[in-house]
Structure 1
Amino acid sequence: MYSFIARQPVFDKNMSTVAYELLFRDGMTNRFPDVSPEYATRQIISDLFLSTSLPKLVGNNNCFINFPPEMIVQGFADTLPHDKVVIEILETAKPTDELFDAVRRLFGWGFKIALDDFTLENGWQRFMPYVSIVKFDIRAYSFEEITQYINQHKKHLSKVKLLAEKVETAEEFERYKAFGFHLYQGYFYSKPEIIKNKRLAPGKVLQLQLIQEVNTPNPDMFKVENYLKRDLTLSYTLMRYTKNVLFKNRGIVLGKNATLRDTLLYLGINEVRRFVSISCLTNMADVKTDQLYHMSLVRGMFCELMAKETGNARLSGDAFFCGLFSLLDTILGISMEDLFRQILLPENVMNALTKHEGVIWQFLTLARLYEEQDWDNAGALLDSFKLDQATVIGAMQQSIEWADNISA
């Protein structure tokens, strides 16, 4: 039986990842509420203790875990690390005396408590001194309804952080940010704002030129070497990367006097392409886009694995670049069309990212459906590929682990 944990980032006003909400998943179509909330929460707690460690899932960030009220009262949250876990009380909860006593106990132990889509009526007021975060579903209520509600209950909400969930556009993000919300969940960061003719910083231009050169049919290694020499960080990283790759894959140990050109020749063009693409993307990303960078890595490896699983191994390299560059417009703040006027990638990669066509676009679509937990459409795409759920779940887990290692 397969079970796994999905994670959804929680952002602050600067679009920096500050936490993850952990979500139970049992296959691509066995989605909530096909299992009870109690079962889902027990499974997450079990997985955190028996298989996937919490630091591996969330790094140095906190995590939100949904708890039905009965499980809070019964003490299931007590065993979790209070400095890492935010206890999220489901919206179905009633403000009973038993729940109130349990919340006070958890608060006293140092836990943060979050209320999910709650109302302040009928007894919730007494909970508020022990609550750190209140979540509002902006798809369920309009901006006017939510802000009116907050204004009417300013006294009770004055010391809590407001979280807007299911934010899908940059406009929504800016609107709730202007009102005073502190935290956000949603997919707005994967729907880029198009900024025409934006100029890139010189360092980023060099990196894009390097990407362009290594992706030509016959790269000029002298040009590649010269580009790398102009960026000391990339040159140093390449030497370290090559050392690890050659020793791990071929048992080769480079001599102390190996030059940059020796390194490129030892690696081979395919590894050079992969290194350049990943390293340049790392340097383009900043503190505001760490999660986008990580997601790009996950998408790249996932698309590569899907190409191999579907009998399209010859497309695995292009599929990797399609996933890796799928968020480059958001990271750089420039449209895909403008990007591809400055760099050259294989035609099927450019068609996938600008025209949304071709089989590698379908691999990327499957990755996005997974991120958005759209299991119905993901299942339909799985059927068209003739893939089973276990294969795709395994590929996504492998991709996340690989991206975690690269990010580290």
Structure 2
Amino acid sequence: MDQAEEMQAKPAEAGKDDGNVASIARQAIVDEKRDVFGYELFDRSVDHNAHTAASDAALLFNALSYAGTEALVGKKTVFINCTHESLSGGHLELIHPDRVVLEVPALAPDASDEAIAECIPVFNALRQRGFRLAFDQNLLRRAYAAWLPMASFIKLDMLTFELSRAEALVKFAQSHTRAQIVAEKVETAEQFECMLALGVKLFQGFWFAKPQLVQARTMRPMQATIIQLINLVRRQASTEEIEELLKKDPTLSFNLLRFINSSGFGLSCEITSFRHAVMILGLKKLFRWAALLLTTSRADGSPPAVGQTAVIRGRLMELLTAEMLPAEECDHAFVVGVFSLLDVMLGQPMEKALESVALPQNVVDALVHNSGPFAPFLELTRACESADDASFARAANALQLSNHQVNWAHLQALAWADDLNTENSAA
């Protein structure tokens, strides 16, 4: 029995998590001998809402950063359901692909041939990086013929077809792809025996195991410290400065060391010092990790989207000031935007929230007193989020910016926050 199987696990319906517990359901995928081949993971946190663009990729990131994949799946392969949007997200940049299978859904029933073809470059890029892709039986439809070479796994849902059709489906998949077939939602011995006789080697379903809820206690760093780390990385601080910050926040440093030593990161040796971790990760990946940590962590009572909104504000502030202020001031503008929701994230008045970090006076003035050079940009940034056209026009006019300029910057900020593309984030 591997480490994952030794952990406390309960049926997925049971129990609720608190703010410091990561609740992730896993369901075993077994081979013909009923040995565990891998686990499919599902987010079962209380505050998990309907899918966002990166929700499932974020689940994998959270598993690495907060719970640790060793606790969840041992040394087994991880299957993660993805949206097409999340396949291009920044979360996957940090994941070592060797033991990760990305489950890709079919497009909408009315998807055009062009839309189906447009997915191919994304699939190819993921495969070149080492990820394996799994598809459902929609892949066997004529419209998806171009996707067939992309498949490492094809999951056949036993609840969607009669056993009399199984042989035709399996033989078609075997003759047109090199993919391993997974019979999923297997609920009877008859289904298992039928698929086994057809040469299927992998199985998933209630007949083998129901999803189990794995609850792992988390240690989440203060969001203020995460933002401070982001700021250090953005100005390319020395390894010594970053190491000093990590030493001041045990939870932040603990999460970094756990993440970089997780099997998902793919290192062959254990990293035990903060300095070594920073050097191995590099500033670009360190920034991506910190920004993702910010968007997926939250204080009690803070809506989960707050961190994402803060990152969008920071990038938008940076873009709006890029043509009007010196480069150093643009960095400060980024901090103003990211810190502008700190009171919400920490559940404290802004002035109290800022006591934990040392900031330039003009940043404090904008956040606390709504004054100074950054205040008009912050007002415009907030107006971009509202439906108040008058406020938007007033704020844009005050800075002599056109609607086109502001809207374009806002779109860029939204896109940047979605994929956290560090190559495009330098001021």
Q: Do they superpose with TM above 0.5?
A: no
TM-score scaled by structure 2?
Answer: 0.40
TM-score scaled by structure 1?
Answer: 0.42
